Amino acid sequence: MPGDGSAGRAGQPHAPAPALWQQLIGVAGALQAIRAGQSGTAAVAAVPEPLRPGVQALLFHVLRHAGRAQALARCLVQRPPPPAADALLCSALALSWHPDEAPYEPFTLVNQAVEAAKHHPPTRQQSSFINACLRRFLRERDALVARTDADPAARWNHPAWWIARLRKDHPEHWEHILQANNTQAPMTLRVNKQKVALAQYQQALKAINLEATAVEDSGLVLRQAVPVTSLPGFAEGWVSVQDAAAQKAAPLLLHGLDLARPLRVLDACAAPGGKTAHLLEYAGAGAPLAVTALEIDATRAARIGDTLQRLGLSAQVLVADAARPQDWWAAHCGGVPFDAILLDAPCTASGIVRRHPDVRWLRRESDIAQLAVLQARLLAALWPLLRPGGRMLYCTCSVFRAEGDEQVQSFLVRNSDAQLLPSPGHLIPGKADKAEAVPDNLSGEHDGFFYALLQKSPQ
């Protein structure tokens, strides 16, 4: 168990690993921050560095079981305890309720949760209360779990509104989506073919005992995730980390275009730059492709530059609002229409819950309509910037139809000069039954996504 402070091999001492109770304090604090509206990324970043890896791993487990934990907590308490104590109680319940999936023995988790309560000032006065609740849970676990089985949020570990929305949007596949969301996503790479062939890189991985399965045109799905620093040639720009669904953007937008002639491409909402880079990689070395990458946030825009620099690629990166072309189109793009536009619009991120399990607990149902308004505004603002005969790829990492099918159908009604070309539509996250659930050629794991390829009528 972490924190035993034992010496290293050959009698060499090493710094003791953090005790589990210390990690549980970090987990409960992060859960409390997420409940208050902070992203999981920010919540984990606030954890002291020595605790951070363990806290993140445990937190992800907690977030994937938070619905069950909240339902169990309601069975154990007459009224909710203070937020810090409730977060610690729910964290311990989420980690221990299913013995087969628990990262530690349930008795160990309970003992360490009580230790965490005693050591942490915000929960010290509730340590006896937490101890009583968790001891009762250990005694009555089967009965308490059975009491919560009828609660959809407990069974699926998603908010009730989210479950209802999926049942409406995907009546045949909503259960699969929820199941996939509660699993860990694989690590998928995109090989930069300007620097190394796909098969060659696959062999380089095999040489260091990393098995990978080819997916899409340039993708490799790793059997096990590893730090990017251990990937051959990562610093030299041989590969990037990018989900297989996201890797569809560049081929969808550019396939069939004459890449030998100068083309002007806009990547709106481009941070952190993965799709910008893939556009340039897909076009090939020496292709006269002029890419403009927009990002409204300066800090995130800097990440686009970092991504391109590592890969040895170049694009015009602008800090600007894609919904306000009057601020940047004439000044930085000469007011010349684009041949192709990629609009990866802000969305609920409901398709990437496997990678960001906090999303389901951060989002509110009202966010869908608010984001749909923004998506429609971006489509309306960017469509006039496309040349006649040009194409726009609209995409979101969402499985909600209001941000996908419904958004595009409304756009087509408003714009008679727009035609929907063959497109994947909604991609179901995880390993779906491909012939039935996902109308595309992906083979293997991928995130939930939506793609619609639109062409402007020639004048």
The overall longest dimension of the chain from CA atoms, in Å, is 79
Q: Which one-letter amino acid corresponds to residue 163? A: I
Look up 269 and say whether it is catalytic: no
* Neighbouring residues of 453: CB distance < 8 A, sequence distance ≥ 6: 252, 253, 391, 392, 393, 420, 421, 422, 423
Tokens of 456: 């402007």
Rounded Cα–Cα distance for residues 425 and 439 (Å): 8
Taken in order 440, 271, 397, 69, the sign of the CA dihedral is positive
List the catalytic residue out of 133, 269, 395, 397.
397
Which residues are 212's β-sheet partners?
222
CA 364-367-372 angle, 5° bins? 155
Burial class (CB in 10 A: 0-12, 13-18, 19+), 258: exposed
Q: How far apart are CA 214 and CA 221, in angstroms?
A: 6
Active site residues: 397
